Structure 1
């Protein structure tokens, strides 16, 4: 279930992240989706999708942070 474009991302991602943040999220999600294909590659009983979303948010947080108004802005 990789994402081919930002328009396919979950609504919460599309509505909250700027375009560049969405690019980061999509690329990280797709990479993790492939990397964590096998259950043995994941921690505990985390699903493949959960693992990929966690990786994607982590990648976004390396470049973006929330400002005092709750908007995602570049660090």
Structure 2
């Protein structure tokens, strides 16, 4: 299900990423949610939600990297 607000994101995103990364995550997730509605567009038997989370994390990883402290920091 798409996220309407940053405050709706999973704790793992909100608690460990800066606000900009959270915005990236939300937009990428929502876009993937729309794009991968059809199961034939997904790889294997991944659910729409799984694919959307993968796409969102991939988008975050373009600008951020996970630090030794477990939080995400700008590259």
- Bin the TM-score by the shorter chain: over 0.9
Aligned to 1:51: 51
Q: SS of the residue aligned with 2:15?
A: helix
For 1:8 and 1:29, the matched residues in 2 are separated by: 12
TM-score by length of 2: 0.95
Unpaired runs of at least 5, structure 1: none
Aligned to 1:14: 14
Q: SS of the residue aligned with 1:65?
A: strand
Q: After TM superposition, where is structure 1 displaced by more than 3 Å over at least 4 residues in a row?
A: none
1:31-66: CA deviations, max 9, x gaps? 000000000000000000000000000000000002
Q: SS of the residue aligned with 1:16?
A: coil
TM-score by length of 1: 0.95
Contact 2:9 2:26 in 1 (8 A): yes
Q: Cα RMSD between the aligned structures? A: 0.8
